[in-house]
């Protein structure tokens, strides 16, 4: 396991502590963690994304999607099944799960849908006007900036 020293990042920047936390979490993630349920993350537009999670065996009422602390948390808990069923083979896993996706700044959940055993979570990045590039007009004459004495 590699350890990265993020001290230079803290010395030379302000406000990147969240980014450092994300990197630290990614580096310390348990590689033996379950890959259940499988999922895709795709870019569907310039500022749009979709997380698709295979949730076969779960009804929409069994699923929960919430946004908390800059993350999307998807969890599922299947209601108790009938005990009188006898399976000869049970290949569809319906065990409870919780999966967390950390979102970048200004990304929010636009909606979610459950279609054909897939949970689709639509995300959109909305850049505030203050952060959008803007053209600065250059004056043709020199305007002196006066200092205010305090």
Give domain status of residue 150, yes or no. Answer: no
47 and 27 fall within a common domain: no
Per-residue confidence (pLDDT) for residue 107, from 0 to 100 = 92
104 and 54 fall within a common domain: yes
Identify the domain containing residue 68 by its residue range.
34-128
Q: Provide the number of structural domains found in the chain.
A: 2
60 and 97 fall within a common domain: yes
90 and 21 fall within a common domain: no
Per-residue confidence (pLDDT) for residue 4, from 0 to 100 = 65
11 and 61 fall within a common domain: no
Q: pLDDT tens digit string along 63-120?
A: 999 999 889 999 999 877 777 888 889 888 788 999 999 898 889 999 999 999 999 9
What whole-number percentage of the chain has pLDDT above 90?
41
- Name the pLDDT band for 27 (thresholds 50, 70, 90): low
Among residues 141, 140, 105, which one has the least CA distance to residue 125? 105
Q: pLDDT tens digit string along 2-26?
A: 566 767 766 666 666 666 677 776 6
- Name the pLDDT band for 136 (thresholds 50, 70, 90): confident
Give domain status of residue 11, yes or no. Answer: yes
């Amino acid at each position: 396991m590699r350890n990265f020293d993020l001290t230079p990042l803290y010395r030379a920047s302000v406000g990147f502590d969240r980014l450092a936390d994300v990197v630290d979490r990614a580096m310390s993630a348990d590689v033996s963690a379950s890959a259940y349920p499988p999922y895709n993350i795709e870019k569907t537009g310039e500022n749009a994304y979709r997380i698709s999670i295979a949730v076969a065996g779960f009804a929409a009422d069994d699923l929960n999607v919430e946004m908390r602390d800059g993350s999307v948390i998807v969890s599922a808990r299947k209601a108790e099944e009938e005990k009188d069923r006898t399976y000869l083979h049970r290949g569809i896993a319906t065990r409870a799960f919780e999966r967390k996706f950390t979102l970048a700044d200004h990304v929010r959940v636009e909606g979610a849908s459950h279609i054909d055993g897939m949970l689709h979570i639509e995300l959109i990045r909305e850049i505030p006007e203050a952060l959008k590039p803007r053209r600065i007009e250059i004056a043709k004459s020199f305007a002196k900036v006066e200092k205010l004495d305090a």
